[in-house]
Amino acid sequence: MGPHGIGVRRSARPHRYCDEVIGLDQLHSVLPRADFIVVSAPSTAQTDGMIGGREFALMKSTAGFVNFARARLVDYNALAKVLREGKLGAAILDVFDPEPLPADSFLRETPNLLITPHGSSRNGSSDDLERYLPMTLDLVFDNAAKMLAGRRYETAVNLRREY
């Protein structure tokens, strides 16, 4: 009776929180099945522009769409078009280019679109200096200590993956 989670990942390797996992090359095969599409991928040469007009056309007209990853992954013009035409149920956007979203952006007038201030994907918003700054400094100092000790540290960038 619960939701059936389908993960789309580069490796297609199973994930404990997904009922099913496919590779990015099979994205189009699952979009027509999805009631909700949540984009949470890094911005790379492979992912930038991954959701556009073709992908929105494959989605159910009742589907919900969420992007809290990076703005470059999604064609916001195509998103606004399907929302205006009633070909997509609703969307939530938490990331924009540029950021903050300009006051005169067409997105602000798009029906069935909820705009949030780029903070929903973090444990603490960067605007919350009481939480965010100490968390960030703890991570920086912990990683520096691990690096100096020759140990692997969190947030190391894999240049081949681009993140």
Residues recorded for the chain: 163
Instruction: Please pick, among 99, 109, 161, 162, the residue that the annotation labels catalytic.
Output: 99
Q: Map residue 101 onto helix, strand or coil.
A: coil
4 is catalytic: no
User: What is the rounded CA–CA span in Å between residue 156 and residue 32?
Assistant: 36
Rg (CA), the chain: 18
Contacts of 160 (CB under 8 A, 6+ apart): none
The DSSP H or E segment spanning 147 is helix 132-148
Residues involved in catalysis: 70, 99, 118
